[in-house]
Structure 1
């Protein structure tokens, strides 16, 4: 399990833990050094590199991550990078000093939190996208939707013209951090929802083609606990199949200040 932790200056680096598949609370091994470190000063990932999605392509492993960079007027800019393990034993190396999802006219501020799936015809990515920052009675905030993109090689990407999943009410201002499974001909997506009138929660949507989605948030299968580490908020889901079990890893209060946990579908 790849995860990102912040140091005392709130710079983020990606590490990993090996978990017991029968008991995910049992840690078998923890990395002593970062898998992904900060980029050079001035780079798109000079403030943090957060891994989101691992894809195997033959002997190679592609680790998609978001790099963030602090800025003067907005809190940060976020774009997607790629690190590749070529199988030679040298570990992951960043593919480029530049993002593979960089700013565009339509998406100039945030193109991050990528979830990538390899299909027979192409690579598919769902990611968080912000086209503006807004300053209003709620303070300074972004508007985030989830978009879909395709690639022939996992490196060069073409994004769809319209969002895949959007906010649904004036109170919502962000849907992001998608996690996608393909089950029996149906694409299933879990994601984080951010609103002005309630804490982070986890939503759910379905699609027949991975492009057009129907939100079914009431079927997400998880809510905040009555007390404890995830009683104030739940966010950033990652859903995986382990044998015949469906597990969701997620963050709790204060965006995961105490770590991450998991839930199992019953």
Structure 2
């Protein structure tokens, strides 16, 4: 039940960027995942993660960007190379840089990302790394070879999905933490929950140490916590799914949820506020996932992934005028 007299209704939704349609790069064969907007003077830079063709059935993940004009969202350029090279042999990000969240800090752009590596009993594991750009966000360098946020006693695996924010003088990092792996037939699937950490310098973090969003499904997996402040409250868009049988079952796959908070730590969930579901046909007729929202010229927009967690690319929608 919506007790805040708030609703987020959307219109003009469409496939916004597709590697197959809008780029011709070997390292960007398919997928455009985890979009994140960085506003520039005359254009928007949208970071995302993609994959080249698999080798022996196994993928790696790179991150790049697409620049779009502010006035009409036309594509100006696509990054020619990955913005951050994969990690060295044996490091936490040897096989993937995904997802990627960026923020301006003076003349620099600071980025937090999920770095993943392959494992044996489960397909992968993830830690959160940090990189800095000193050329306006075109290329990045790691602050070090290891992660800035890694496993602990109560967060034993999969720290990923970082979304970096600065509220007042506090750095706030929303992320997901793995709780368990569940077997779906012969395939292990992870269950993860949304958590948060704070920092005074963006490097040393104090974890809140608890799940932020109450689950509504048994073994619910939550991802992509995107938080903004509006009308005196903090709002969170996120996505969630059933732990098993979600890859081919639209009734159990990713959908987008909503929560609000007076202080960005204590959250009340109300998914009815977020009026956004899969379509009847098209690139997003099976799932909607990994939401990211931004404002431009007084309008709020939503970027999101469609089927197969963004295989065709990411979509965009515009908030309806007067929706509150």
Instruction: Using structure 1 for the length normalisation, give the TM-score.
Output: 0.94
Query: Is the contact made by 1:113 and 1:177 (CA closer than 8 Å) also made in structure 2?
Result: yes
SS in 1 for 2:121: coil
Match of 2:174 among 92, 110, 126: 126
In 2: Cα distance, 1:41 partner to 1:57 partner:
30
The alpha-carbon distance between structure 1 residues 58 and 108, as it changes in their structure 2 partners (threshold 3 A), is same
1:104-183 equivalences under 5 Å are 104-135=152-183, 140-170=188-218, 172-183=219-230
Structure with the greater relative contact order (CA < 8 A, sep ≥ 6): 1 or 2?
A: 2
Extract unaligned runs of 5+ from structure 2: 1-45, 245-250
Superposition CA RMSD, Å? 1.8
- The list of structure 1 runs, each at least 4 consecutive aligned residues, that deviate by more than 6 angstroms after superposition, is none
In 2: Cα distance, 1:47 partner to 1:255 partner:
18
Aligned residue for 1:190? 237
The alpha-carbon distance between structure 1 residues 89 and 57, as it changes in their structure 2 partners (threshold 3 A), is closer
In 2: Cα distance, 1:227 partner to 1:89 partner:
36
SS in 1 for 2:308: helix
Cα deviation, residue 256, structure 1: 0.8
Aligned residue for 1:245? 299
Matched, 1:218 2:272: yes
Residue correspondences, number: 264
The alpha-carbon distance between structure 1 residues 4 and 88, as it changes in their structure 2 partners (threshold 3 A), is closer
Aligned residue for 1:8? 53
Extract unaligned runs of 5+ from structure 1: none
Residues 196-233 of structure 1 show CA distances to partners (whole Å, capped at 9, x for unaligned) of 45221111111111001111111113110110000011
Cα deviation, residue 20, structure 1: 2.1
In 2: Cα distance, 1:262 partner to 1:90 partner:
23
SS in 2 for 1:34: coil
Query: Is the contact made by 1:187 and 1:207 (CA closer than 8 Å) also made in structure 2?
Result: yes
Cα deviation, residue 39, structure 1: 0.7
1:194-209 equivalences under 5 Å are 194-195=241-242, 196=244, 197-209=251-263
Aligned residue for 1:258? 312
In 1: Cα distance, 2:83 partner to 2:138 partner:
11
In 1: Cα distance, 2:311 partner to 2:137 partner:
33
Aligned residue for 1:228? 282
SS in 1 for 2:275: coil
Cα deviation, residue 115, structure 1: 0.8
Match of 2:91 among 43, 48, 65: 43
Query: Is the contact made by 1:124 and 1:148 (CA closer than 8 Å) also made in structure 2?
Result: yes
